[in-house]
Amino acid sequence: MKPLTKSAYMRAKACRRLAWIEAREGRHQAEATAAEKLRRDLGESLSRCAQDLFPGGLSAWHKGMSEEQARTATAALVADPSVPAIFEAAFLVDGLSARADVLERTPDGWILHEVKSGKTPKNGHFEDLAFQVRVLEKAGIRVRGTGLIMLNPAYRGGMPLDGLHLLTRFDTGSETSALRAKVARRVVELQEVLEGPEPAPARVTECRECLLMARCWGELPPDDILFLSGARSRKMAAWEGQGWTRIGDLPASELSPQQIAAQEAIRFGAAWRDGPAPAPTGPIAYVDFESEMPAIPYLPDCGPFEDAPYQFSCWIEEEPRTLAREEAFLWPQTEDELGLDPRPLFVEALLRAVEGAETIVFYSGFETDLLKRLTRAGIPGAERALELFETRGFDLEKVVKQQVRHPDLRGYTSIKQVLPALCPEMALEYKTLPGVANGDDAGVAIAEMRSPQTIQSRRAERAAELLAYCGLDARAMAHVLWAIQDLPAAP
């Protein structure tokens, strides 16, 4: 059986069956996407930066080394009192395995530091540390404190890219200590589960993304409670306990208004529109923004994870059901534009695109929220753009929530779910897009376009992909609106 790692321990909290299977077969996961690789690269570069905070520290692991070699190196570094800190220290004891990001030596014991790519500590981080403390102490390491090393909220684009500027430390000693007894108990319980018989599947929210879905559940009916929006693990367990496994079985007293609407559509078995057909006044601008929240900001007045818009598409409908033209903005399309702040350019182009529209259609509060942040940041024109979005805005998602009853939606209202239900032929267009077909792909493409290392022909190729993707997102909104207008009235 494979040793229990901290990530297996954290995953087991969601599903013990998954932990049991993975202990025997290894991790079941899809090949990492380009976006996941980018996030992994970020984690690795932050870990390297964190080493700046511990001068004289040495790494117990280098690329190409096995876990066993890393453990041997760790033991040697622990035994050498001249080493002030150990990076990537590896331990295996009593079936538990841990890799500590940083172990800092002090006269009266070690401080365990974990490097995370967020800005604020979360409960899961403390439990993660408590698990590692359990392993380290079993291995005979006296841990006298724990801490998190995270992105420094005061870091701004252009500052030196080293640990001293980019990162900050949090002392998590008391939070971790408070969890130690609980984690120790959970580890023992989990090890008993792992050594016992294969646990039966249980409906948990994680099933929805799990690669073992077919193995655990076979072919579930589309109205299984597992597919109901807002159904959390604990609720589903309680429903299963009552013998309710289909959305139609659930009593209204158990459901939110949105879930009740979903249940009605499933029971009826066909789509309808609740209320009169929405008829926004033309000309109509259908607008979609793309922005990124880089962990390491590139603009001088932006901190980690601050929104930076880089693209919009705006389709104009002047005559009913005819998209006359597209206005689009994308930065940076050439190397010369790399030094520019995209935000004023974005707003300027946006104002030009939407000024003549009587109605501005967008999907969810994302666009107005972004304009609020740009207004607060003092970007010229952002206040006017926000005013236009607030006075002429038409949030299509709100209309979907209030009026669309469709058996395939099961309470979900994101455009990615609504489009295939209402406009299946348009949803297929996403499959024909070259390179960029979702938000994650877009994030990877813009990161590549922003890189000074990217050659111009590649930047142009990525630009074409992003323009096609964002243009389709905006066009899709028009088709969703028209499909809602065409739905039959309430039965």
Q: What is the CA radius of gyration of the chain?
A: 26
Two structure tokens written together for 335: 């190397």
Output 15 or 347, the one with its CB closest to ligand SF4. Answer: 15
The phi, psi pair for 96, rounded to 5°, reads -115, 140
SS3 content of the chain, % helix, strand, coil (to 5): 50, 15, 35
> Which residues in the 364-383 window bind ligand SF4 by CB under 6 A?
none
Output 202 or 296, the one with its CB closest to ligand SF4. Answer: 202
Residue type at position 6:
K
Q: Where are the alpha helices (DSSP H) in 139-212?
A: 163-166, 173-195
Closest separation between CB of residue 29 and ligand SF4, Å? 11
Output 187 or 210, the one with its CB closest to ligand SF4. Answer: 210
CA angle 277, 281, 282 (to 5 degrees): 120
- Give the SS3 label for residue 294: coil
* 136 in contact with ligand SF4 (CB under 6 A): no
Site string for ligand SF4, 16-35 (x = CB under 6 A): -xx-----------------
Closest separation between CB of residue 202 and ligand SF4, Å? 6
Residue type at position 388:
L
Output 3 or 201, the one with its CB closest to ligand SF4. Answer: 201
Closest separation between CB of residue 199 and ligand SF4, Å? 8
> Which residues in the 193-222 window bind ligand SF4 by CB under 6 A?
201-202, 204, 206-207, 210, 212-213, 216
* 15 in contact with ligand SF4 (CB under 6 A): yes
Closest separation between CB of residue 193 and ligand SF4, Å? 13
> Which residues in the 393-412 window bind ligand SF4 by CB under 6 A?
none
Closest separation between CB of residue 438 and ligand SF4, Å? 23
Output 209 or 319, the one with its CB closest to ligand SF4. Answer: 209
Task: Choose one: 12-20, 235-243, 308-316, 329-337; the region binding ligand SF4 (CB under 6 A).
Answer: 12-20
Q: Max alpha carbon distance in the chain (Å)?
A: 79
Closest separation between CB of residue 2 and ligand SF4, Å? 16
17 contacts: CB under 8 Å, gap ≥ 6: 198, 199, 200, 201, 202, 216
Output 216 or 447, the one with its CB closest to ligand SF4. Answer: 216
* 10 in contact with ligand SF4 (CB under 6 A): no
Residue type at position 134:
R
Q: Which residue ranges make up the site for ligand SF4 (CB under 6 A)?
A: 15, 17-18, 201-202, 204, 206-207, 210, 212-213, 216
